[in-house]
DNA sequence: CTGAAAGCGCTAACAA
DNA sequence: TTGTTAGCGCTTTCAG
């Protein structure tokens, strides 16, 4: 821990033989001066390894180059990809991200938000695990801009969501393109907005008579759904699942039942949570919500807002893409990929 | 976005009828003054909703109440629990955490570290997914303290690791306590330090002849190990796995083979990654590395270092605890829990 | 016990 | 083209 004092712009100025003001302008490419002076200052700065003190700079510029990311997604399944995208969009702008997880605890959330505001964040990105649930804290009247990603915000806010309907449609059409005709949708709890959206899109593509089974977001529900389907009526030849965990449960249950996937039944999941989708046997074809891109977009938007640029409020929908692996059957792989990927709405 | 100007200490002072200096001292519980003045200032501050500008404060105090968390664990499987612990330890001290993920990219890592230093972080916690791998960046001569958690640092650094040996011993002893005698350890790649440590502890407890199978950190390897074990020699009655994914693969393979878990074979995992361990049928008994506690400890330590308190360098080992679910058999549950939990080394 | 004044490191008017 | 002078909002000597 070398306690060598950081060199300040003052040192750079002195050694370059200019005033502090000139040094500042030279380094920030502002003001007017001979190219010679500017390069000389820049060179001495580089030689000295000068790095401006971001706090001091923030104090005058009223901009901290810091943003806050608030999330209530404990597992990080949604947050981490989003975070990666945000960082990607912001790192070369020199913006750093405060991450704080709040587990649906309103008091804790307020503490964190206050701490962020105290630290003069330029903006806050709120993210969660459900599009139709708000974080337990009101971000509406903050003195900094807010972008909502994957969580519900006020009507006049800037909100980013992935396109559940388009994703579900892509999955369903893929199954139809494979020649499947008896499609079933096994999904999560009925009161989730995304469940409703996906189910509606599924029915629209597969026919309004196509069965939809609502349940839990778990492997166990996938198992149960299969045993229900196989004990009741005409068995399906394709199952589109509401998430990868359900899909994994379905695939496992089918295997145990001696039903071949994808030969007898095609299965498609949702989320592309690789730890689940890639470990399933066979690996899952699944809908990827492009969360990293969503994060990138959130980063871009919060930056524009922070810079005072106008950003149209409202809900921005980002397309999902179908990731084709083996669980759907791949006879017409080429055809599917042509249809299923990155379809604009 | 209410653009109402934040009130400054100047406003508080004016309204309370004191000078800025007095206000500052009153609010920070420093200096000397009548209790009356102090309370009056505090009350007006509270009434006005005054929140000090952390940047301005940092500038004078040379302390930003901000730390950086550096990680190369993309999935967040280790980082997120650690992060939760860190936050828990720091939030009431008003410390916020910059998170940045660097995917083994040295350049990116340097950019992030520099950005953190520019922002005057009070310290950096480095964390990874392997105890025996360094992050792709040298943190040794930074002007701020560094704590290593779950990643290798220089010999004279402050490092936190979980106690692999004790965890493995707890697992093995649990299996022995259940009356199992033909134990096998199925684990990850041999060149991982934690693999070696766990294997050694396993052999020490189970007998030096007890077989250890090295492979990959995957479900697939769990499957393969079972087929190898059941085709080769005397079948085991207990399998201790190097992580939960392997364990899940093992349990699935056994079920497919008609071997009952835990009736015929007891299985224990490692990590307690709930998304895997709880979804396994039956749910996994597994070793929990107490990562949250590790994070808490890291937070405490970095804080002490930041405050200039002396901290003994060296490796600090935190105990694991055995989480008993169903995959090990629970006849002697009480006995096991007595032995297996939070054993100090 | 209280307040005036001098910074923290940097940026930005305004002069020169 | 460059430098002087004020701050940003807060803390902290040091006089009063």
> Model confidence over A23-61: pLDDT tens digits?
999 999 998 889 999 999 999 999 999 999 999 999 999
Question: Does residue B74 belong to the interface with chain A, where contact is any CB pair within 8 Å?
Answer: yes
Over 90: is that where the pLDDT of A331 sits?
no
Residues of chain A in contact with residue B141, where contact means CB-CB under 8 angstroms, are 1-2
Q: Which CATH number fits domain A164-289+322-344: 3.40.50.620, 3.40.50.720, 3.40.50.2300, 3.20.20.210?
A: 3.40.50.2300
Over 70: is that where the pLDDT of A310 sits?
yes
Residues of chain B in contact with residue A219, where contact means CB-CB under 8 angstroms, are 279
What's phi and psi for B151, nearest 5 deg? -155, 155
The count of C-alpha atoms lying within 13 angstroms of the C-alpha of A140, restricted to the half-sphere facing its C-beta, is 8
- B94: closest chain A residue by CA: A115
Percent of chain A predicted with pLDDT > 70: 94
The DSSP H or E segment spanning A96 is strand A96-101
CA-wise closest residue to B282 among B296, B263, B301, B298: B263
- A140: closest chain B residue by CA: B1
Q: Is the dihedral of CA B256, B261, B266, B268 positive or negative?
A: positive
Please judge whether B98 and A97 are an interchain contact, meaning their C-beta atoms are less than 8 angstroms apart: yes
CB atoms within 10 A of CB A214: 18
CA-wise closest residue to A136 among A151, A125, A150, A121: A151
Q: Residue B4: what pLDDT? A: 54
Structure tokens at A35: 């190219």
Angle, CA of B186, B190 and B195, to the nearest 5°: 65
Coil/strand/helix, residue B223: helix
Question: Does residue A156 belong to the interface with chain B, where contact is any CB pair within 8 Å?
Answer: no
DSSP E strand stretches across chain B: 66-71, 96-101, 123-127, 146-149, 158-162, 183-187, 212-214, 238-241, 266-270, 285-288, 314-318, 321-323
Nucleotide D13 C1' to residue B62 CA (A): 16
Report which residue is nearest nucleotide D1 when distances run from CA to C1'. A33
Per-residue pLDDT of chain B (345 residues; tens, 9 = 90+): 334 578 999 999 999 999 999 999 999 999 889 999 999 999 999 999 999 999 999 999 999 999 999 999 887 889 989 999 999 999 989 999 999 989 889 999 999 999 999 999 999 999 998 888 999 999 999 999 999 999 999 999 999 999 999 999 999 999 999 999 999 999 999 999 999 999 999 999 999 999 999 999 999 999 999 999 999 889 999 999 999 999 999 999 999 999 999 999 999 999 999 989 999 999 999 999 999 999 999 999 999 999 999 999 999 999 999 999 999 997 545 444 544 443 322
A279 → closest Cβ in B1, B100, B219: B219
Q: Which residues contact A249 (CB under 8 A, 6 or more apart)?
A: A218, A219, A220, A221, A222, A223, A224, A225, A226
Question: Does residue B297 belong to the interface with chain A, where contact is any CB pair within 8 Å?
Answer: no
Question: Does residue A218 belong to the interface with chain B, where contact is any CB pair within 8 Å?
Answer: yes
- CB under 8 Å, gap of 24 or more: what pairs does A231-234 form? A234/A182
Q: Is the CB of B307 under 7 A from strand D?
A: no
Distance CA A166, CA A181 (A): 20
Over 90: is that where the pLDDT of A6 sits?
no
Question: Does residue A118 belong to the interface with chain B, where contact is any CB pair within 8 Å?
Answer: yes
Domain boundaries, given as residue ranges, for chain B: 164-289+322-344
Mean pLDDT (whole number) for A86-103: 93
Q: Residue B336: what pLDDT? A: 46
Please judge whether B98 and A99 are an interchain contact, meaning their C-beta atoms are less than 8 angstroms apart: yes
- A255: closest chain B residue by CA: B256
Please judge whether A53 and B83 are an interchain contact, meaning their C-beta atoms are less than 8 angstroms apart: no
Measured in angstroms, the CA of B205 and the nearest CA of chain A are apart by 32
Please judge whether B53 and A80 are an interchain contact, meaning their C-beta atoms are less than 8 angstroms apart: no
Scanning A79-98 for CB atoms below 8 A from B yields 79-80, 83-84, 87, 91-92, 94, 96-98
Structure tokens at A149: 């990603």
Nucleotide C11 C1' to residue A147 CA (A): 29
Q: Which residues contact B188 (CB under 8 A, 6 or more apart)?
A: B195, B214, B215, B216, B217, B221, B242, B243, B246
Distance CA A65, CA A43 (A): 25
**Crossing angle, helix B333-340 and helix B164-177, to 10 degrees?**
160
- Output residues with Cβ under 7 Å from nucleic strand C: A 6, 8-10, 20-21, 24-25, 27-28, 30, 50, 52-53, 56-57, 59-61; B 17-22, 25, 31-34, 37, 56, 59-60
CA distances from A181 to A313, A323, B152 (A): 41, 21, 55
B99 → closest Cβ in A75, A97, A112: A97
Question: Does residue B145 belong to the interface with chain A, where contact is any CB pair within 8 Å?
Answer: yes
Question: Does residue B52 belong to the interface with chain A, where contact is any CB pair within 8 Å?
Answer: yes
Nucleotides of C under 7 A from a protein CB: 1-5, 7-13
Distance CA A42, CA A40 (A): 5
Over 50: is that where the pLDDT of A141 sits?
yes
Distance CA A179, CA B292 (A): 49
Distance CA A168, CA A97 (A): 33
Instruction: For an interface test with A, give the residue of B117, B118, B138, B221 to mutate (most A CBs within 10 A).
Output: B118
CB atoms within 10 A of CB B315: 14
Measured in angstroms, the CA of A256 and the nearest CA of chain B are apart by 8
Place of tokens 């009507």: A155
Q: Which residues contact A205 (CB under 8 A, 6 or more apart)?
A: A168, A169, A172, A173, A176
| Strands B285-288, A66-71: pairing kind | unpaired
Q: Residue A4: what pLDDT? A: 54
Distance CA B252, CA A179 (A): 31
Q: Residue B85: what pLDDT? A: 95
Task: Write down the mean pLDDT value for chain A.
Answer: 92
Q: Residue B261: what pLDDT? A: 95
Q: For the whole model, what pTM was predicted?
A: 0.92
Question: Does residue B216 belong to the interface with chain A, where contact is any CB pair within 8 Å?
Answer: no
Structure tokens at B279: 């979804």
Please judge whether B118 and A51 are an interchain contact, meaning their C-beta atoms are less than 8 angstroms apart: yes
Over 90: is that where the pLDDT of A9 sits?
yes
Distance CA B175, CA B164 (A): 17
Q: Is the CB of B10 under 7 A from strand D?
A: yes
Distance CA A242, CA A250 (A): 11
Question: Does residue A2 belong to the interface with chain B, where contact is any CB pair within 8 Å?
Answer: yes
Please judge whether A94 and B59 are an interchain contact, meaning their C-beta atoms are less than 8 angstroms apart: no
Please judge whether A101 and B87 are an interchain contact, meaning their C-beta atoms are less than 8 angstroms apart: yes
Per-residue b/e over A184-208, b at no fewer than 16 CB within 10 Å? Answer: bbbbbeeebebbbbbbbbbbebbee
């Amino acid at each position: 821990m070398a306690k060598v004092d950081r060199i300040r712009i003052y040192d750079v100025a002195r050694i370059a033989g200019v005033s502090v003001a000139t040094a500042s302008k030279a380094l920030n490419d502002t003001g007017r001066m001979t190219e010679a002076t500017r390069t000389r200052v820049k060179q001495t700065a580089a030689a000295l390894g000068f790095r401006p003190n971001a706090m001091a700079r923030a104090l005058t510029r009223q901009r901290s180059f810091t943003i806050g990311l608030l999330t209530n997604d404990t597992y990080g399944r949604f947050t981490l990809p989003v975070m990666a995208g945000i960082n990607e969009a912001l790192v070369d702008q020199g913006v750093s991200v405060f991450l704080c997880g709040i587990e649906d605890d309103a008091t804790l959330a307020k503490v964190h938000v206050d701490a962020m505001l105290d630290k003069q964040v330029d903006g806050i990105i709120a993210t969660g695990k459900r599009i139709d649930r708000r974080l337990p804290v009101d971000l509406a009247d903050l003195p900094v801009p807010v972008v909502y990603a994957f969580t519900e915000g006020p009507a006049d806010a800037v909100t980013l969501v992935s396109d559940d309907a388009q994703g579900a449609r892509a999955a369903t059409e893929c199954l139809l393109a494979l020649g499947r005709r008896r499609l079933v949708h096994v999904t999560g709890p009925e009161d989730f907005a995304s469940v409703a959206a996906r189910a509606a899109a599924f029915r629209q593509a597969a026919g309004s008579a196509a069965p939809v089974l609502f349940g839990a977001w778990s492997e166990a529900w996938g198992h149960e759904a299969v045993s229900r389907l196989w004990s009741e009526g005409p068995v399906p030849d394709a199952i589109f699942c509401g998430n990868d965990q359900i899909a994994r449960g379905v695939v496992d249950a089918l295997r145990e039942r001696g039903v071949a996937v994808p030969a007898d039944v095609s299965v498609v999941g949702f989320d592309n949570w690789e730890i689940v989708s890639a470990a399933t046997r066979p690996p899952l074809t699944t809908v990827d919500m492009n969360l990293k891109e969503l994060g990138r977009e959130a980063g871009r938007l919060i930056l524009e807002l922070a810079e005072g640029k106008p950003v149209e409020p409202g809900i921005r929908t980002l397309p999902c893409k179908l990731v084709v692996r083996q669980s759907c059957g791949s006879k017409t792989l080429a055809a599917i990929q042509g249809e299923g990927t990155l379809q604009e709405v």
